[in-house]
Amino acid sequence: MGHALKKEYLVPFAEIEAFIVDLLDRFDNKALGDTVKKVRKDPIRKLGKDDRLNGAALYCLEQGINLESIIPGIAAGLRYHYLADQEATALHKLIIEKGIRRVAETVCGLGNKSPLLHKIICEYNRQGSCENF
């Protein structure tokens, strides 16, 4: 994502890197309350086309930036299943009922010919074949 911002806005990467370091440091600040539980909450919203994960991936794709570091996070979001999180449970149920391809298309807002969709499904099925999904 940082490389995409640098490319579009011509910002020196050192400035972007400083922002990233600051952001990561905030995760260590317990007073902010950004627990893992809070960060992983609401996976359907966070997997949306214009939100954190797919929004960043689509932006990188638009800027011609390699998105291999984002894809595992998107797949992990789709794999996330925590019984105390109603949205995560609903997402898991949707995947069981409709399959990963259909859910990735609808939840992530990706067209069925999207190269991002193929990469997400391959990562999701990392242990299996990516040929037939």
| DSSP line for the chain | -HHHHHHHH---HHHHHHHHHHHHHHHT-GGG---HHHHHS-HHHHTSTTSHHHHHHHHHHHTT---TTTHHHHHHHHH---TT-HHHHHHHHHHHHH-HHHHHHHHTT--TT-HHHHHHHHHHTTTS-SS--
Please state the pTM of the whole predicted model: 0.76
Each residue's pLDDT tens digit, 64-109: 888 888 899 899 899 988 888 899 999 999 999 999 999 999 999 9
Domains and their CATH numbers in the chain: 1-34 (no CATH), 35-133 (1.10.1040.10)
